[in-house]
Structure 1
Amino acid sequence: MPALTHRAERAPACIPPDWAGVGACALPVAAGAATGLLECHALVLISTGPLLADIDFTSHLAGPGTLIWVRPGQALHFDIPGSASDPPGDATTVVFRPGLFAPEELPGLPPDDPVGPARTPLVLPDPAVFRAAMKHLAADTEGPPGRISAALLRHQLAALLLRVRLLDGAGQDLGNVESRTFERFRRRLEDGYPHSRRVEDYAAELSCSVRTLTRASLAVTGRTAKQVVDDRVALQARRLLAATDLSVAEVGRGLGFGEPTNFGRFFHRETGLSPGQFRAGFADRPGGIPGPRQAVD
């Protein structure tokens, strides 16, 4: 999936251009293609299919008329069900960079929120409307760059995203204290999980008690606050092990583990596998782990 994954050599045509922040590309699907990390948002509308989509290690069978919204940083793998010789399904893909819209710019829809609408593939009631809008947007990305063109693309994309929001109003109900507390905790966790796995640290930053965070987490997710933190760290570890060539030690250090053995124990406790065993499950796909990239300590 070179068009949608983090690679050392990216496909420029499928990365949103700087002048617009919105782009379009064909979806290159190959049977058993390597898992990769998404650098941008991608709206993928399946026209013919079906298509197997693994998003953050959860498999979805997407048929015609299904819209998939993949967020930046998510682990992504597409495959063709059935015979490897079957032709890939036809899809229209629109990509856009994070931060394109301000948090409050689209009513009820912060686009960069990882738990926003269409977290799972969305079967559209009228896919022809979306298909026409996405193909129109894709065609407009081929026009001359400029302020007017950029504004046009942003408005078209905003209309698409708001349509998704109307169809799928998924998200936390913030009508009670526990939900609001958990939402603040979740947002802070997205920034803080590489640095701290201590619930006490998040409670102090949010000026509340550990008991308050735990009560809110249990009410919203059925998981304790500590489990929510560990779930987020384990997810990022799986992403990096499956889709980058960072060593196990580098992955552990990037997530705040000073010793590889501590990271190994944590990962085994959370997943039931050692980091090496987990990674081995992704190395036999054609292309394997994406090619060399700069390690981040």
Structure 2
Amino acid sequence: MVESGHVTVIRQMTYRPVERRAAAVETMTFDRLRERNDGGTQRADFHVLAVVDAGRGSVTVDFLRHPLRERSAVWIPPAAVHRWDDIAGVAGHVVLFVPTAPVTPTTRELVASPDVAAHWSIPEADWPFVDAARNHLVLEASAPPGDLATELPGILLSALIGRLRPPHGGARSAHPVFRLFRSSVEAHFRRHHDAGYYARTLGYAPRTLSRAVQQATGRTAKAYIVDRIVLEAKRLLAHDRLTAAACADTLGFPDASNFSVFFRKATGLRPGAWQATVAIV
């Protein structure tokens, strides 16, 4: 894991294993993370999955702060803006992996989902299985490069993800219509903001689509789309330091004024005012 690109306020992290160039999975302890971490805010092009054994701390993911406690997990997907706020007393392991690393259909679908929760507690009954899966992955990932079977880390990563049972943030159902909608929004939200577009594209009546999204997330289809656009806008404002005009262009708004009205209605602040409040060091 190294830094690359133009460093402004948030560092862009690129996946690049030092010792095994072909490895799609890398592991490290929280001790090693502390050595590399300067307390700043980052955005990566890979997944970060952490398992906490002991201690207390916190991590901020996409502007929401989450507590770190014994037997808890953290999942930071690519492009998420994140900061390790307080990990001085935290023990455990961090797994870094590229999106294509998992090998089973279920775990690949899960990794591709934009709705995986950023943080959750691991049930006591699941902990022995999580611990064993994690330790096996860590052991295999530490093998000398010449002894490393390239498919094993992906297999063991899939086993760990399966045992962790990461919940979907706000998605209480795996309704097939919602899954299709979610994937379509992820692909097209920068240009299409209307729920009707997704209903037409997917071939469902607007009422059917709305019902599926409501059952899965507790939100309307329109609210789901708005939340996704707002999250991306915040990332662009905080990480790329874009102006309202640049955000409008990137996110498919007619002009800066239209985008500013949208953003203020969703957050209570104009884009520039929100950008100024983001405490990033």
TM-score, L = length of structure 2: 0.80
| Aligned position for 2:55 | 49
Is the 8 Å Cα contact of residues 37 and 72 (structure 1) preserved in structure 2? yes
Is the 8 Å Cα contact of residues 115 and 168 (structure 2) preserved in structure 1? no
Amino acid at match of 1:7: R
| Aligned position for 1:110 | 110
Amino acid at match of 1:210: P
Q: Whole-Å Cα distance in 1 between the matches of residues 141 and 37 of structure 2?
A: 29
Which protein is richer in strand relative to its size?
2
Determine helix, strand or coil for the equivalent of 1:79: strand
Determine helix, strand or coil for the equivalent of 2:219: coil
| Aligned position for 2:280 | 285
* Offset, 1:40: 1.2
Any idea what the Cα deviations from partners look like across 1:179-205, whole Å, max 9, x if unmatched?
Answer: 332222112111110121122221111
Any idea what the Cα deviations from partners look like across 1:119-174, whole Å, max 9, x if unmatched?
Answer: 43223526566456435533433434369521121122121111112x85885434
Q: Whole-Å Cα distance in 2 between the matches of residues 108 and 24 of structure 1?
A: 19
2:191 aligned to which of 187, 192, 195:
195
2:250 aligned to which of 228, 232, 254:
254
Amino acid at match of 1:123: I
* Structure 2, gaps ≥5 residues long: none
Q: Does 1:160 align with 2:160?
A: yes
Q: How many residues align?
A: 272
* Structure 1, gaps ≥5 residues long: 82-86, 287-297
1:228 aligned to which of 209, 224, 229:
224
| Aligned position for 2:207 | 211
Determine helix, strand or coil for the equivalent of 1:245: coil
Determine helix, strand or coil for the equivalent of 2:90: coil
* Offset, 1:272: 0.5
Which protein is richer in helix relative to its size?
2
Amino acid at match of 2:280: R
| Aligned position for 2:182 | 186
Amino acid at match of 1:98: P
Stretch moving more, 40-49 or 266-275: 40-49
Counterparts in 2 of 1:29 and 1:190: CA distance versus 1, 3 Å: farther
Q: Does 1:60 align with 2:66?
A: yes
Is the 8 Å Cα contact of residues 45 and 67 (structure 1) preserved in structure 2? yes
Q: Whole-Å Cα distance in 1 between the matches of residues 203 and 15 of structure 2?
A: 45
| Aligned position for 1:149 | 149
Q: Whole-Å Cα distance in 2 between the matches of residues 149 and 222 of structure 1?
A: 44
Higher RCO by CA contacts (8 Å cutoff, separation 6 or greater): 1
Counterparts in 2 of 1:146 and 1:105: CA distance versus 1, 3 Å: farther
Q: Whole-Å Cα distance in 2 between the matches of residues 62 and 29 of structure 1?
A: 18
Amino acid at match of 1:145: P
Any idea what the Cα deviations from partners look like across 1:82-117, whole Å, max 9, x if unmatched?
Answer: xxxxx3423311111012236x6247963222224x
Is the 8 Å Cα contact of residues 194 and 233 (structure 1) preserved in structure 2? yes
Q: Whole-Å Cα distance in 1 between the matches of residues 243 and 37 of structure 2?
A: 26
* Offset, 1:230: 1.1
Is the 8 Å Cα contact of residues 13 and 45 (structure 2) preserved in structure 1? no
2:11 aligned to which of 7, 13, 16:
7
Q: Whole-Å Cα distance in 2 between the matches of residues 218 and 168 of structure 1?
A: 17
TM-score, L = length of structure 1: 0.76
Determine helix, strand or coil for the equivalent of 2:145: coil
| Aligned position for 1:122 | 121
Is the 8 Å Cα contact of residues 42 and 69 (structure 1) preserved in structure 2? yes
| Aligned position for 1:291 | none
Stretch moving more, 120-129 or 50-59: 120-129
Is the 8 Å Cα contact of residues 42 and 94 (structure 1) preserved in structure 2? yes
Amino acid at match of 1:223: R
* Offset, 1:271: 0.5
